[in-house]
């Protein structure tokens, strides 16, 4: 900053001091107008100088990490938003050698358009790779896609990462691979669909309210939301830093453990990772395999205590067929040596409501006003351009994004930031209650979603009906984004579609663990997967 006010230039950008203050309802003493104007001139000069400085972003070694030019596929209903190839010429390991991995369309890959499923910023092309993208390439994976082609890339993300169904992405509707015309879940719709249909080996999804686990449940694959901060979110478009998660979506538990080994650990940039593990030193896959190869392979859960969370079942919007399927699957843990009983966390029933208010307000600040201050991370300065909500942002949004914008406006206008603060305190209370229950039990069980995949809405369906059906889907998943507990969804059976008994759709069971308890999740989930066939 300029050292003395005598050194400042004679003019500055922006409104006169009195007019500037008036826009915020402030009156400045007229006797001090010149002093304040001179002070702002010095601030303006500093801002101009900083604006002209070279930015400081991670650099991309295009020779080491080559990638093809992306292309939009003719058919996006299976989940593709863009197709390309990206890999590392000299990977650090062969853990994922030649495995095909897809990236959700909010995960940055340098030189490749990243839409976040929306037309709000349609032409944004990241300048650097997300940490997780670099790490999977360093493990030998190919960011790729369709079987038989050396092309692939980013897969569909629902509009603004703010939908629990799969009909709002800018790239088009994504069908459930088990039943055309039914939802693949959201917002990581393409990730789940592509893995389930076999077009890729594994994928990365992001989760702020259930967006990994809900589509995993609908599509019959395994999806893990890791502990908050375990996997770096650097280079990924987020909603609210306190709920942003990125994690694996795979065909089985083994592959989830493998992929987590390759992406977990601090990257030295994401400030959510102050207490995280060291990158490259996790042993999730080894611990998982060891836990299933003891002296008694049929009693792999001996000594494990499992709580079936009663509040996760029997809600007004729950399908009894789903509840019964998950309860039966949970009771099968007893055959593997586990002690299984029903437990209760009454606050679980109000958790989604509190999470929803906090998420509306937190997301509104970041998405609508560009407020991303107070963080130590890499900022995508070419994307942080919006300073207020406008018509173009609203028009580009799906029902979920529009509900967030209008709710954010209303909540700040009517209740102020104190409501957000209270919500966060109450979510911390819920976190402590989960922690208390997880001292008595190794893991907790709920249905991942209260019902199986719904049919896509007719195009003319209004926002009230869409939201009324979409919001309950997050009932058992959303609070865990707020508390940061890890949770995995595994397929445990089929139920009839709610509107057509001739159609059978997958059911997901959610297994919840203590913070940094991913090893427990893999042991429990993997034991069920190894001993029981969910497709029977």
What residues are labeled active site? 104, 187, 211
On whether the CB atoms of residues 260 and 518 are closer than 8 A, the answer is yes
Q: Which residues are registered as beta bridge partners of 86?
A: 67, 143
Question: Which are the contacts of 381, defined by CB distance < 8 A and separation ≥ 6?
Answer: 55, 57
Q: What is the DSSP letter of 82?
A: -
Q: Which two tokens stand for residue 251?
A: 């065909």
On whether the CB atoms of residues 513 and 438 are closer than 8 A, the answer is yes
On whether the CB atoms of residues 378 and 234 are closer than 8 A, the answer is yes
Residues 51, 52, 58: CA angle, nearest 5 degrees: 80
Residue among 186, 151, 213 nearest 79 (CA)? 186
Residue among 315, 163, 253 nearest 492 (CA)? 253
CA distance 499 to 184: 16
CA distance 393 to 127: 23
CA distance 79 to 63: 29
Q: What is the DSSP letter of 160?
A: G
Please list the alpha-helical segments (H only) found in 83-188: 131-138
Q: Which residues are registered as beta bridge partners of 481?
A: none
Distances (CA, A) of 106 to 91, 94, 109: 24, 26, 9
- Say whether 147 sits in a helix, a strand or coil: coil
On whether the CB atoms of residues 205 and 191 are closer than 8 A, the answer is yes
Residue 131 burial by CB count (10 A; 0-12/13-18/19+): exposed, middle or buried?
buried
Helix axes 463-470, 399-414, angle to 10 degrees: 90
Q: Which two tokens stand for residue 499?
A: 């509107």
Q: Which two tokens stand for residue 23?
A: 């826009």
CA distance from start to end of the chain: 70
CB neighbourhood size of 60 (10 A): 17
Q: What is the DSSP letter of 119?
A: S
């Amino acid at each position: 900053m300029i050292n003395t006010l005598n050194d400042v230039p004679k003019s500055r950008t922006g409104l006169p001091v009195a007019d500037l203050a008036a826009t915020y309802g402030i009156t400045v003493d007229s006797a001090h107008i010149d002093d304040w104007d001179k002070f702002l001139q010095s601030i303006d000069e500093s801002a101009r100088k900083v604006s002209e400085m070279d930015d400081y972003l991670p650099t991309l070694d295009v020779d080491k990490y080559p990638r093809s030019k992306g292309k939009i596929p003719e058919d996006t209903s299976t989940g593709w938003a863009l197709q390309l190839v990206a890999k590392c010429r000299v990977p650090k390991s062969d853990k994922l050698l030649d495995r095909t991995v897809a990236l959700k369309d909010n995960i940055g890959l340098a030189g490749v358009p990243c839409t976040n499923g929306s037309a709000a910023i349609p032409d944004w092309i990241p300048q650097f790779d997300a940490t997780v993208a670099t790490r999977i390439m360093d493990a030998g994976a190919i960011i790729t896609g369709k079987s038989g082609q050396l092309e692939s890339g980013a897969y569909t993300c629902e509009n603004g990462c703010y939908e629990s169904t799969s009909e709002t992405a800018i790239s088009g509707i994504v069908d459930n691979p088990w039943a055309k015309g039914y939802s693949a879940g959201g917002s990581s719709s393409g990730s789940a669909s592509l893995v389930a249909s076999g077009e890729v080996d594994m994928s990365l999804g992001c989760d702020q309210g259930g967006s990994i686990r809900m589509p995993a449940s609908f599509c019959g694959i395994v999806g893990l939301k890791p502990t908050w901060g375990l996997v770096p979110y650097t280079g990924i478009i987020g909603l609210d830093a306190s709920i942003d998660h990125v994690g694996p979506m795979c065909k089985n538990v083994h592959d989830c453990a493998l992929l987590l080994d390759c992406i977990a650990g601090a990257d030295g940039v994401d400030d959510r990772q102050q207490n995280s593990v060291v990158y490259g030193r996790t042993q999730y896959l080894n611990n998982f395999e060891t836990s299933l190869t003891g002296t008694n392979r049929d009693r792999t859960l001996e000594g494990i205590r499992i709580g079936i969370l009663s509040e996760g079942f029997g809600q007004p919007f729950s399908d009894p067929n789903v509840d019964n399927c998950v309860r039966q699957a949970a009771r099968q843990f007893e055959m593997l040596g586990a002690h299984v009983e029903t437990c209760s966390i009454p606050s679980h029933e109000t958790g989604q409501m509190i999470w929803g208010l906090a998420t509306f307000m937190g997301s509104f600040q970041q998405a609508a006003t560009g407020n991303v201050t107070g963080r130590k991370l890499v900022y995508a300065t070419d994307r942080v351009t919006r300073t207020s909500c406008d018509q173009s942002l609203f028009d580009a949004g799906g029902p979920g994004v529009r509900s967030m914008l209008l709710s954010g406006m209303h909540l700040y206008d009517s209740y102020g930031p104190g409501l957000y603060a209270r919500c966060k305190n109450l979510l911390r209370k819920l976190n402590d209650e989960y922690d208390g229950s997880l001292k008595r039990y190794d893991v907790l069980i709920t249905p991942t979603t209260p019902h199986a995949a719904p049919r896509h809405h007719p195009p003319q369906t209004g926002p009230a009906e869409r939201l009324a059906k979409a919001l309950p889907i997050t009932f058992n998943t959303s609070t865990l984004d707020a508390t940061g507990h890890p949770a995995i969804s595994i397929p445990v059976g089929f139920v009839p579609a709610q509107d057509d008994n001739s159609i059978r759709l997958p059911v997901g069971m959610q297994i919840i663990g203590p913070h940094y308890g991913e090893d427990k999740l893999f042991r429990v989930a993997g034991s069920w997967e190894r001993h029981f066939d969910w497709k029977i």
